[in-house]
Copies of this chain bind each other. A is one copy, B any other.
Amino acid sequence: MVMQKFRAAAASNRSTLCIGLDPDLARLPEHLTRDAAGIVQFNQAIIEATSDLVCAYKPNIAFYEALGSAGWQALKQTIASIPGHLPIILDAKRGDIGSTAKAYASAAFDELGVDAITLSPYMGYDSLQPFLERADKTCFILCRTSNPGGDDVQNLALANGEPLFLKIAELVAERWNGNQNCGLVVGATYPSEIATIHQRYPELPLLVPGVGSQGGDIGAVLAAAGEQAIINLSRSVLYASSTSSFAEAARDVAQRFLAPKQALNHP
């Protein structure tokens, strides 16, 4: 069971929070150096302060790539700092033709050794196949994203009157999930759409960014998708403070988001 590691972490920490490790050099606390070493120090402090509050971490590879090979090393050191029982989702939004997708899958699952990845559906099944075939890994496929431009393509009406993103959910649930290792990325800014997706495909875990800085409401997400929602926080936690006590401030924010959730799950 591929989601087992997520479920076990969620159960032991009583949390379905995920923290996005997206270190923006310009926003690092003032006392840290603005380079790969500073990023590693920053991430390690965030991880240490929050590892009992989350069910996963999600580094977005873009922030590491921006620093070239030093950034890649920083990503590997970050991954090595995450306690082994906590799953790691590489936020990469990949998708490319066969031989290239194989190389990406190898980069993520073998070279970096992560447990899960985010993928883009635009190029169709064979662009995702090398990821989907890894039955021991989880693939979160972009469905309805939380950004303002999400509507441009995802909300285009198809011939049957329904928006494209619902067709993507259907493709994932009915055609691409043969190894039962798929989930969807669904933005918290659209809770009614989360509810529709969850009602149709209750078996799919949902990775939900958009709570926190982007303004999505955690209560609405939990009402819409319950235990299937893995709720991601990035900037609101990472940059809670720019002082040397940034890690404690990050922990406070994570706990504040967790409180209504725990109340909801354990009344």
Contact = CB atoms under 8 A, between A and B. Distances in A.
Nearest to A125: B149
* Copies of this protein, total: 2
Contacts of A156: 158, 164, 167
Interface in A230-259: 235
A19 to B, nearest CB: 15
Given A153-B164, A157-B158, A158-B159, 14 more contacts: A62-B103, A63-B103, A65-B104, A93-B123, A97-B145, A121-B152, A122-B145, A123-B145, A123-B147, A124-B145, A124-B149, A125-B149, A129-B149, A156-B167
Interface in A103-133: 103-104, 106-107, 111-112, 120-129
A70 B145 CA distance: 33
A33 interface: no
A76 interface: yes
A154 interface: yes
A91 B112 CA distance: 21
